């Protein structure tokens, strides 16, 4: 497929379905686990018990997606994998707060490794994450997203995004491990969520801007090629 061929636009999407999907994904994977964890710890639960119970929300999100779309996508599989991994890692070794912070860093570091490893697969991890957040889950929107893989520019962007996310989370994990031993536990409890959500926010912002710029550049190349062909 020529690099100058214009990529097709997305099919008509249900605004309500898209909004509901975003609210459920963010609410059940980020907001609800955080609120549940903090509330349980404030009421005397151990960090491990609070972490384990707050992990039920992402599982609920996976079940909702499974019932809604009647299939288990790659995003859900990765979410379940890391929930299980977090529980297993938390059980290993001592259960001190400092050790828990270091173990938490190890999990995000493993996510970074997973991103880079999937570069060896037919399609990198960000392709599947992008499909989860760029479509409304209908077969038509999934077919549109899958069809974009034929374009060289799209493939390059997905691989670049996967490299950046993988490298960023490896750096973030290493920084949190170092800070866990340099700072006091009280200070690290404050710094830890800032690093987690700050890294995620910057990556999401960069990803959105990169996707928009890539699409605009692709459309410009296609328009220039069409004009040149018309002139010839």
Mean pLDDT, all residues of the chain? 78
pLDDT of residue 75: 62
**Rounded percentage of the chain residues whose pLDDT exceeds 70:** 72
Q: Average of pLDDT values for 57-72?
A: 69
pLDDT for 125-166, tens place per residue? 999 988 877 887 778 888 889 999 998 889 999 999 999 999
Q: Average of pLDDT values for 199-225?
A: 83
**Rounded percentage of the chain residues whose pLDDT exceeds 90:** 22
More confident residue, 206 or 193: 206
pLDDT band, very low/low/confident/very high, at 106 (cuts 50, 70, 90):
confident
More confident residue, 164 or 17: 164
In the numeric block, the tokens 């190349």 are attached to 221
More confident residue, 96 or 144: 144
pLDDT band, very low/low/confident/very high, at 167 (cuts 50, 70, 90):
very high
CB atoms within 10 A of CB 27: 14
Tell whether the model's pLDDT for residue 100 goes beyond 80.
no
In the numeric block, the tokens 């459309």 are attached to 219
4 torsion bin: left (phi>0), alpha (psi -120 to 50), beta (else): alpha
CB 21 within 8 A of CB 76: no
pLDDT band, very low/low/confident/very high, at 209 (cuts 50, 70, 90):
very high
Tell whether the model's pLDDT for residue 22 goes beyond 70.
no
Q: Average of pLDDT values for 44-73?
A: 71
pLDDT of residue 149: 93
Over its C-alpha atoms, the chain yields an Rg (Å, rounded) of: 20
More confident residue, 230 or 68: 230
Largest CA distance in the chain: 76
Lowest-confidence segment of 77-81, 99-103, 170-174, 212-216 by average pLDDT: 77-81
pLDDT of residue 3: 45
pLDDT of residue 123: 95
Predicted model pTM: 0.70
Q: Which helix (H) or strand (E) holds 19?
A: helix 15-26
Q: Tell me the C-alpha distance between 13 and 122, whole Å.
A: 27
């Amino acid at each position: 497929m020529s690099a100058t061929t214009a990529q097709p636009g997305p099919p008509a999407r249900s605004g309500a379905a898209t909004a509901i999907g975003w609210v459920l994904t963010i609410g059940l994977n980020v907001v609800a686990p955080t609120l549940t964890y903090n509330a349980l710890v404030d009421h005397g639960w151990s960090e491990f018990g609070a972490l384990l119970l707050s992990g039920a929300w992402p599982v609920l999100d996976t079940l909702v997606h499974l019932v809604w779309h009647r299939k288990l996508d790659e995003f859900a599989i990765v979410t379940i994998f890391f929930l299980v991994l977090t529980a297993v890692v938390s059980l290993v070794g001592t259960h001190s707060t400092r050790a828990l912070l270091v173990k938490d860093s190890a999990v995000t570091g493993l996510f970074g490794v997973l991103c880079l490893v999937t570069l060896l697969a037919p399609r990198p991890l960000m392709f599947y994450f992008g499909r989860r957040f760029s479509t409304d889950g209908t077969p038509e929107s999934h077919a549109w997203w899958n069809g974009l893989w034929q374009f060289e520019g799209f493939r390059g962007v997905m691989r670049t995004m996967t490299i950046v996310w993988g490298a960023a989370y490896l750096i973030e994990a290493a920084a949190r491990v170092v800070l866990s031993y340099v700072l006091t536990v009280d200070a690290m409890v404050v710094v830890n969520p800032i690093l987690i959500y700050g890294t995620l926010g910057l990556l999401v912002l960069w990803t959105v801007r990169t996707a928009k710029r890539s699409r605009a550049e692709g459309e410009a190349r296609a328009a220039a090629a069409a004009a040149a062909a018309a002139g010839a």
